[in-house]
Structure 1
Amino acid sequence: MEKRTVNPWKWQDERSYSQAVEVKNATSTLYCSGQAAIDPDGTSSDKDMKSQLVQAIANLEEVITTAGYECKGIVRLNIYTTSTHELWPYFPILQEWIAKHRIEQAVTMLEVNGLFETLKVELEATVVK
């Protein structure tokens, strides 16, 4: 697989994403459903935003690795949250995870009126290898 990032500017670098990602010669693609702070028994978290973000990241990583992919293969990450204001102070947690796995991805973050049950943040990814 060949991956090329397209960044006409520099300002996105401090926000840990790319403006566009081109992928050539991929052997397979994994489309992940939104992963949130849901326990293995299916119980939705009612904890704070930070706790939910940490669990959503862990759940996304679990889905990706269980499917036989690597997190560094993420090329698209959509972030849905019930409050960008509440999520933003914890964005460095996501940035550290992105750096740890050397992920280069396009990102969209959307504030939504609500997520399933008590959830506050959901991460949806496209992964290639």
Structure 2
Amino acid sequence: MEKRVINPWKWQDERSYVQAVEVKNAQSTLYCSGQAAVKPNGQSSSEDMRAQLTEAIRNLEQVISDAGYECKNIVRLNVFTTSSEELFSCFDIFQNWVVKYDIKQASTLLEVKGLFETLKVELEATVVK
């Protein structure tokens, strides 16, 4: 599998995403449903944004790993949040995670009116190998 990042500008680097990712000769593709701060028993978290983002990342990592893929090969990541302001107050968690796995992903961040029950953030990924 070959990945090529397309970045006509530099400003997105500070925001932990890329403008486009081209994938050639991929063996397979994994499309992950939105992962949020949901406990193994199915209970939605009512914790703050920081805790929910951390748990959503952990859940996404587990789905990717259980499928036999690696986080470093995330090529698309959509972030849905009920509050951009709250999310940006703990965006360091997201940025540190991206750096940890050297993820180079095309991303879209959307503020939505609501997510399921008490959820504040949801991560939807596409991963290749």
State TM-score, norm by structure 2.
0.99
Q: Gaps spanning 5+ residues in structure 1: where?
A: none
SS in 2 for 1:12: helix
- Alignment of 1:35 onto 2:30: no
Equivalent residue for 1:4? 4
- Alignment of 1:124 onto 2:124: yes
- The CA distance in 1 between the partners of 2:106 and 2:89, in whole Å, is 21
**Cα displacement (A) at 1:89:** 1.2
**Cα displacement (A) at 1:92:** 1.1
Q: What amino acid maps onto 2:115 in structure 1?
A: L
Write out aligned runs for 1:44-123 (5 A). Answer: 44-123=44-123
State TM-score, norm by structure 1.
0.99
Q: What amino acid maps onto 1:22 in structure 2?
A: E
SS in 2 for 1:114: coil
- The CA distance in 1 between the partners of 2:25 and 2:64, in whole Å, is 20
- The CA distance in 2 between the partners of 1:90 and 1:24, in whole Å, is 34
Percent identity between matched residues is: 71
Segments of 4+ moved more than 2 angstroms: none
Q: What amino acid maps onto 2:9 in structure 1?
A: W
- The CA distance in 1 between the partners of 2:19 and 2:91, in whole Å, is 18
Deviations 1:83-117 (A, max 9, x none): 00111011111110011001100010000000000
Once superposed, what is the RMSD of the aligned Cα atoms?
A: 0.4
Q: Gaps spanning 5+ residues in structure 2: where?
A: none
Q: What amino acid maps onto 2:93 in structure 1?
A: I
- Alignment of 1:24 onto 2:21: no
